[in-house]
Amino acid sequence: MAIQWSDNLSVSVAEIDEQHKIFIKLLNDIYKMTFTGSNQDEAAGLLKQLESYAAFHFATEEKYFDKFKYDRADEHKAEHRSLSNKIIQFKTRFVSEGAAVLPEIVDFMEDWLADHLEVQDKKYSKFFNDNGLV
């Protein structure tokens, strides 16, 4: 199902909230595609966007971890790496299985994102705010 942005997903940092909204929108675009029956090129393009947007977003958070010397950076970066690897696996499966794999990708990504936002990302809110990032 599609996920909606709501204020309880906020991490209290405007730049990062904006990125999370774009991330959610990309997932919802892929979700829509699962029942509008898009063509292969379009789906491949969205998966590529998802991969590059995830990399861009993770790099943003990790830049601040390094800058502020965040003590939970290692566990957080490990979750980012594992998701990046998962996206690569999904892209490979998409090549062999086609659009049939899209619902599984959307389900997995929505669960991952909701959990990651509410657990890992929220852990840095106060720390980032205390370092002047709001």
128 binds Fe ion (CB under 5 A): no
Tell me, by CB under 5 A, how many residues bind Fe ion: 2
Which stretch in 30-38, 48-56, 86-94, 119-127 sits in contact with Fe ion by CB under 5 A?
Answer: 119-127
Which stretch in 25-33, 56-64, 103-111, 125-133 sits in contact with Fe ion by CB under 5 A?
Answer: 56-64
Angle between helices 14-36 and 40-68 (to 10 degrees): 160
Count the alpha carbons within 13 Å of 52 in the hemisphere toward its beta carbon.
5
Taking CB under 5 A as the rule, which mask of x and - marks residues 11-50 in contact with Fe ion? ----------------------------------------
Nearest by Cα to 98 from 60, 42, 19, 26:
42
Q: How far apart are CA 51 and CA 85, in angstroms?
A: 10
CB 46, CB 33: distance < 8 Å = yes
Site residues for Fe ion, 58-117, by CB under 5 A, read: 61
Count the alpha carbons within 13 Å of 37 in the hemisphere toward its beta carbon.
0
Nearer to Fe ion (CB atom), residue 110 or residue 121: 121
Which residue in 96, 121, 123, 126 binds Fe ion (CB under 5 A)?
Answer: 121
Q: Which residue bears the tokens 């599984």?
A: 104
Which stretch in 24-32, 34-42, 57-65, 104-112 sits in contact with Fe ion by CB under 5 A?
Answer: 57-65
Which residues form the interface with Fe ion (CB under 5 A)? 61, 121
